[in-house]
A and B are shown apart, each in its own frame.
Chain A
Amino acid sequence: MSSYLCGLDIGGTFTDCVLIDESGRLTIAKAPSTPPNFAAGVMTAIERAAVKIGLEVHDLLDAITVLAHGTTVGTNAIIQRRGAKVGLITTRGHNDVIHIMRGSRGLSGQDIKMIVHIPESSKPDPLVPKKLIRGVSERVDCFGKVVVELNEDEVRQAIIELRDAGCEALAICCLWSFLEPAHELRIKAIAAELAPDLYLTCSAELAPKWGEYERTTAVALNAYIGPTTVGYVTRLDQQLKEMGYKPPLQITQCAGGTITVRKAQQAPLLTLDSGPVSGVTGSVYLGQLMQHPNVITTDLGGTSFDVGVIHNGAPVVSYKSLVNQYEYFLPKVDVQTLGTGGGSKVWIDKTTKALRVGPDSAGASPGPVCYGNGGTVPTTTDADLVLGYLDPDNFAGGTMQLDRDAAVAALQLLADELEMDLFELASGVATIAEFQMADLIRKVTVQKGLDPRDFVVFAFGGAGPVHMGVAARELDVSKVIVPQGDTAAVWCAFGAASADILHVNEKVSIMSSPFDVGRVNGLLAELGELGRAHLAEDGVAADRHQFQFSIDMRHRGQINEVEVFLERGELDAEGLEGLRARFVERYEQLYGHGAALHGARLEMVTFRCRASATSMKPQLVAADSLSDVVAGDAQSGQRDIYWAESKRVETTPIYNGYKLVAGNAVDGPCVVETTTTSMVVHPGQRIEVDRLGNFVIDPAVA
C-alpha cells in the first residue's frame, strides 16, 4: 500500500483534506466545517477522502506518514475577542508596559486616515486589564546581572490573587529576562504549584528578544489564545490517535514549516496567521518546481490583498508582527496585507469630486451590489462585472447569479456625478485598484532592496487573476502565474503538507566589535543544541537534521538591524572578518550603495538558528507533450468587454480554462474562465498553459 502525505485546511465554510500519494497523485475531499468543535469536520473530511481511495479510515490513517494541519482557532479567538481571561505578572514598576504601548497608538504603517484623524484611532482594548496585572520585586540589568532578587512572597500573593480573580491563563514577562530567565522560570514554577489549572507562558521561553513591550505583548497574546488552542489541538490529536494515526501531528506555523502538537500547546502564538503563511510556503515549493527562485505571492480575496515575497528560494521573514494594533515579537514569514479586495468600496469625495476606491470594504456581507445581498455601495467587483470581466451567469462556477443591472445602476450614479461615461468610470475603478496593488508589491520589494522586475507573480484568490495582469505590467514583472488544477489544489494544502518541520530559536546578546569569537561560538553552539533537542523530541532522525545560523547585526549607535547568514554554526577569525563584509553587502543591498559606514563599530544583537527537517514532498505530474493547437470547443463564447487600452467595448472571446491544454497560447484581449476565477488578458498581453497546467500571463508581450 502506498503511503500518503495529508494536508488539512480548515476554512470558515469547508474543511479540505488533500492526500498526496507517492506518485504525486492527489485526492481531495471536502466536508463542512464544524465550529466551534472543528475536529469533527476534520474527521469527516478524512473519512470522505478514505472513501474516495477505497480505504478504511483506520487504514488510511495508518498509511499517512505526515499529517499536517493549519489551525485558525487562535486567530478567530482574537478576531472575536473570545480569548482567555489573562493575568500578567511582570517586574514591579513596569505593570503598564502593554497599556503604554510605547506611547503610540500602534498605527505605524497603517491607514493614513487613522493617523491624521486622531478621534478615529484610539488604542485597542487592552489584552490584560490593569486590574489583572501584578508587578513583583525583581530586577535584572543590561548585563544580565541580577540586581534585585525575586521576592517570592510577592509572587505567591500575586498568583493567588489572579487565580482567585478567575484568570484562566497567566503570562509572565520580566525586564531583561532574555538575558537572565531565572526569575521568570521561578515564577512559572511557583504558578504551576499554586495554580495548576492555569495556562502558563513566560517570555523567556516564547520570545527571548530585546524590547519589553513587544515581548510582553507576545506572551500576553500567547496566554490569550492558549487555552482555546490547546483544547483544540489536544482534542484533534487525541481523536487522530484513537483512529490509528501514529506519527506526530504537525501543525503549521507562521515562520513557515510545521511544529508538533506539544510545541503548539506551549506556543500557540506560532499558529497565528499560519494560513496566509502556508500559502507562501506552498509557493516556495511550487517556485522550486517551476524553477522560479524569486516569486511574489499574491492572494486577492473579497476583503484583503495579501502579498508575500520569496527571494532566492526562501521566504522573506520579519521578526515583529502586528495584530489589533499590538506589536509583538515572533519570527514570521512576512505577509503584508492591504484592506483592498473585490469588496473595496467605490466612492466620491464630495467636496473635491475625486474618485476613490477603498479602504473601506463592503466585506462578505452585504458584499458588492451585484451579489444582491443588500449592498448599495458599488465595489471593485461591481466594476469588474460592468466591464464584462465577470460573467453574471457563470460566477464561482455558476453557483451565484450576479445582478449586472444593479451594478450598472450603482456605478452610473457615480459616473453621472463625475460627468463620466459608465465604462470609463468602471475601468477607472479597476485601474485605481490595480495601482494600489502594484504599490503594495512595490513597497514589499523595493523597500527591502529587491527589484520587482526580477520576480514572477503568483496570483491566488478569486479576484487576483482579474487584476494582476495590469498590476504586473505596471511593475514590469515578467510573468503572472495562475496555478491551476492539481497545482492550485495542492498549493492550498501544500502550506501544510509540503512544510518542513521547523524550530526557530533565538538568543539576544548585544556585543560590540571587536567580537569575542569564543562567546559568539558558544551562543551558536547553544542554539544548535536546542534545535537538535527539539528535532529529536519530534522524532526526527539525526541524519535528517538541518541547521541554518544567522546573526542580526547593526552599526553601533544605530537602530536598523540586518540579518546576516552564516555558512555554519561556528566561526573562526577569518569567518569573523567575512561576517563584516557580508554585513556591509547586505546592508547596502537593503539601504543603498554607500549607505554602510565603513570602519564603524558593529554590534551583534540576535543570534538565531533554524533547525529543520525536510518533509517528504509531493510530486507534480508534468504533461509529456505541449500542443499549440487550441481545441475548437475551448472558446466557450464571447462577451462585450470594455478595454481601457482601446477605450471602447469590444466583442471578446471567452475561453473555458479546462479545455486549454499544456502548450496552448491565446492572445489578449480575452478572458479565460474556471470555476474559481476569471483571468483577464488585456490587449497586448498573452496567456498560455505550461506543462503543469498552470496559466501564465505575459503582462506585456514585446
Chain B
Amino acid sequence: MSVYRRCDGVTRRGSIQLGLGGFLGTGLVAGLQAQADNPDGPSPAAKATSCILIWMDGGPTHFETFDPKPDAPAEYRGEFSDIETSVPGVGFSENMVRLAASLDDFAMIRSIRHDQGNHGAGNHYMMTGAPPRIPVGCGAFVSFHPSMGSVAARELGQDNGLPAYFSMPRMSRSGGPNFLGAQHAPFVVADDPNRSNFKVRDVALPRELSETRFTSRTELRSKVDRMLRIRNEAAGDPSLAFDEYYRQGHDLVTSVAAQQAFDIHGESDEMRDRYGRDSFGQRCLLARRLVEAGVPFITVYDGGWDHHSDLFGALKTRLPAWDNSVSTLIQDLKERGLLDSTLVIALGEFGRTPKISTWSGQSKAGRDHWANAMSVLFAGGGTPGGTVVGATDRKGFSAVDRVLSPENFVSTVYTKLGINPNKVLYTPQGRPTHLVSDPEPISELL
C-alpha cells in the first residue's frame, strides 16, 4: 500500500473517490501543458526559492532509517525495531524518534530505484538526474551533466553578492557545473562551523588584517589599478567583468547582511544546542542562515554512510544526533515561516542490501550497495506533509509500488524551484540536452 491516511483524515485515494481527483488531475495536466507551450515558464507547482540538500554520501540504509521491515526475518530486519510515526500505519526505524513524531511536516519517498550500484555512478545519477554515460567505478568522481545545485545557481541566480550555490564542507561528487561553466560551481565552505574560530573562507578578511588596513588597501587599489578600460561592450574587454566581480566581492565582504549570514556565532547558545553541537548540526544551522540571506541552493555534504560493516554500532551513535539536527532544521524553518519557500531533502546515492552480511575479515555485520530501493526525505516548498510515496516489498528488496526514477526525483526538485525540467540546454558544442530526460515530477509532492 502506498497510500496512507493523512492526519486530516483524507487519503489521496479518498480525494479521488470524492471526485476531486478528476479536477486535480485535469489541473495538473493543463498546468503541464501550459508549461510545454511556454517551455521556459515556471510551473504552477513552483513554490520554493531555496533548497537545502542533505547529501548522505555512501548510500544510507533504508532499513535503519525510514523504511524498516519489522515483519521480515531477522537476517533482513536487522537489530533495530520500528517505531510509530505521526502518520498511522507508517513506521520509521527506532532511532528516527523526532522525525517520526513530525512526519506531518514532510514527505517520504520510498520507491526510487535505479541501476547504478556503485558510488561514482550512483552519486552522478541522483545528483544530476542523468545516468553516467559510460560505466563508472566506485571510487570514481565523474561529471557528465550539471548538478542540481549548479542548475539552480544558473537559473535562479543571486543578486545580493552572495554566491548562489554553497556546498559544505566540500563539493559532493558530481556536484559540479559540467558544461554550465565554472561560474556555477559551488562555493565551498570547508571550515567547521562547530569550531569556535569558524569563519567562511575568503569572505572575511584574513585573520591578521585589520579593518582599517583593509580599507586603506582598498583605497590604494583604486589608485593603483590604472589599466585602461575599453568601455565599448563590443570590444569584449575582460577587465569589465573583472571589475564587476571585484565590486560584488567587495560588497560581500563589506555587506552586513552577508557577513551576518556567515556569523553563526550570532545565534543564541540555545539555538545552537537545538541543532546539535557537532559539525553536521551546525552546518544545518548555517544552511538555514544562508536560506535567510536568499541563497538558492545549499548542499550539506554528510559523508560516511557506506556501512559495509558495523552498521548497527555506527548508526546507534550517529542516528540520534542526525535525527535531531534534521528535524530541528525542518521545525526551525517552519517556525520562521520559511518552510513553504524552502525545500529540505535528505538522501544518498542508493539504499542498502536487504540481507545483512559480514565481509571476510570483518566481525561486525553491515549492508552493501543496493540501488533497487532507497528512501528520500522531502520537506518544504509546499510538499504535502505526511505523504508517503510508494513502497518497497516485504523484505525491502525493491521498490514495487509507484516505482520512481532519479529523473522523477530531480524533476520534482526543479519543478518546485520553478525550473522547467524539460528545458533544453545547449552544451558548448551546440548539442541540445534536456535538463532532465524524463521531466515528469512526482505528482504527490506537488
> Real complex partners, A and B?
no
